[in-house]
Amino acid sequence: MPKTKINKNQNTTWDVIIMGGGASGLMAGAVASARGLSVLILDKNKTAGEKLKITGGGRCNITNNEPDIHKMLRVYGEGAPYLYSPFSIFGVKDTFKYFESRGLPLVTQARNRVFPATEKASDVFDVLHKELIKNKVVLKQNCTITGINHHDGKIVSVETNQGNFFAKSFVLATGGMSHPETGSTGDGFRFLKELGHTVQDPTPDIVPVAIHEDWVKNLAGVSLSFMKITFFLDGKKQFSKTGKILFTHFGISGPLILNSAKSIKGLLDKGDVTAQIDLYPDTTIGDLEKRIVKVFDANKNKILKTIIKEIVPDGITNALLEIIDFIDLETKVHSVKKEERRKIIDLLKALPLSVDGLMGVDRAVVVDGGVSLKEIDMKTMCSKLYENLFITGDLLHINRNSGGYSLQICWTTGYIAGISV
């Protein structure tokens, strides 16, 4: 955005000051300014929208096109009852209309995930950016907020490293603690506590899982598309999920794992957690054995090590070779005993993992925590403690899965704040 000179008179009073230039803050600014209000956005980064530009791996999973509102809101757990009213004001269909009417077509992909047709997160930012320019919003960058001043139930001004700024209304949209490299370092949680709000301390909500075994870490970068993973607590089965698993240098990730993190954390609080990966979830042990017997029969005179790649998914041959310690890998295939072959099959159906824990907030896609929804008027996003303070996005204590649900909260709460200030 072109630099706009701000009146050096610090007593200038804006209609709206928005603290934070992320998704919800940009939406709030675009909507409020379209109503003719003077809007100042304060952002600590060199450029606004840093997290938005990297979301979805740079593709931007902008929302989730779940047509059933009850199923949609169920994803938000305990926050669901509070969200019916906000979603009736600005829901998924409104997100489609808002961006598509501004020249950005959206497409629905697997699991109802919605992306810009260009699959460029920067294009989502550009839509909002153009609105800010058109409506003469002033964006103050490299501006770190150090305090929020209040008097008689109203916010009066914002203290920053570049002076104090005054407004009639304020929107707190500084984000949570996921992707701290983009400036989301939890400042808003501290401000909310200082203002007397009840704040749930943040914990990683959608986050990769740390695994103990080295063979897993040696697979960093490998992804398996259709795998079943089962989690155990002290040896007893707890739950299973099927989908894509991504191996990393610290363990496992991918949508399937990220969306299981909260459940895994609950297990870790109770005891030892292990897991098993079924590499052939749609194949019974009997059918898998028939398939492997055919491979063995066709390669009788080869050594076992050379034909393992024929019976495992691409990319994990070396890992399986590390695990097979019950037979000499130089053994000729025709000399492999039936019991040994069965052990290999059992491995393919139940690769064992030991869960060390969840990764920290620096690896999290979404971090929960934030202000209690009981203290927010969800029809306006206004604080019930301060009549001119509006709170949006990741500062609200709403649990959610990956898959576009987090950004939809930003669009919904940002829009409502924008029409309410």
Give the distance from CA 204 to its chain's centroid: 10
DSSP, res 110:
G
Is residue 7 situated within a structural domain?
A: no
pLDDT of residue 201: 78
Across the range 203-217, mean pLDDT stands at 82
pLDDT of residue 12: 84
pLDDT of residue 48: 81
In this structure, are 261 and 175 located in the same domain? no
How far apart are the two ends of the chain, measured CA to CA in Å? Answer: 23
Q: Are 33 and 18 in contact (CB under 8 A)?
A: no
Q: What are 110-113's contacts with CB under 8 Å, separation 24+?
A: 111/64, 111/255, 111/403, 112/64, 112/65, 112/66, 112/403, 112/404, 113/61, 113/64, 113/65, 113/403, 113/404
Across the range 187-205, mean pLDDT stands at 85
pLDDT of residue 5: 36
209 Rama sector, left if φ>0, alpha if ψ -120 to 50, beta otherwise: beta
pLDDT of residue 378: 97
Give the integer Cα–Cα distance in Å for 199 and 174.
Answer: 14
Across the range 37-63, mean pLDDT stands at 87
In this structure, are 181 and 121 located in the same domain? yes
Place of tokens 């240098």: 249
Q: What is the pLDDT of residues 269-294, one digit of tens each?
A: 899 999 999 999 999 999 999 999 99
In this structure, are 236 and 130 located in the same domain? no
- Of 359, 377, 394, the last residue of a domain is 359
Is residue 265 situated within a structural domain?
A: yes
33 has a pLDDT exceeding 70: yes
Give the integer Cα–Cα distance in Å for 178 and 169.
Answer: 27
DSSP, res 14:
E
Percent of the chain with pLDDT over 70: 92
Identify the CATH number of the domain in which residue 103 sits: 3.50.50.60
Paired with 390 in beta bridges are 171, 382
Q: Are 320 and 169 in contact (CB under 8 A)?
A: no
Model confidence at 96, in pLDDT bands (50, 70, 90)?
very high
Residue ranges making up the domain that contains 34: 13-204+368-420
Cα pseudo-dihedral 338, 339, 345, 347, rounded to 10: -150
3-class SS string, 303-343: EHHHHHHHCCCCCCHHHHHHHCCCCCCCCEHHHCCHHHHHH
Least confident piece of the model among 19-28, 148-157, 248-257, 342-351: 248-257
Residue scoring higher pLDDT (19 or 401) = 19
Is residue 4 situated within a structural domain?
A: no
Q: What are 235-243's contacts with CB under 8 Å, separation 24+?
A: 235/274, 238/263, 238/267, 239/263, 242/281
pLDDT of residue 205: 64
DSSP, res 365:
S
pLDDT of residue 322: 87
214 has a pLDDT exceeding 50: yes
In this structure, are 69 and 198 located in the same domain? yes
Least confident piece of the model among 28-32, 162-166, 225-229: 225-229
Is residue 120 situated within a structural domain?
A: yes
What the block records as the tokens of 223 is 């992804």
- Of 311, 331, 359, the last residue of a domain is 359
pTM given for the model: 0.70
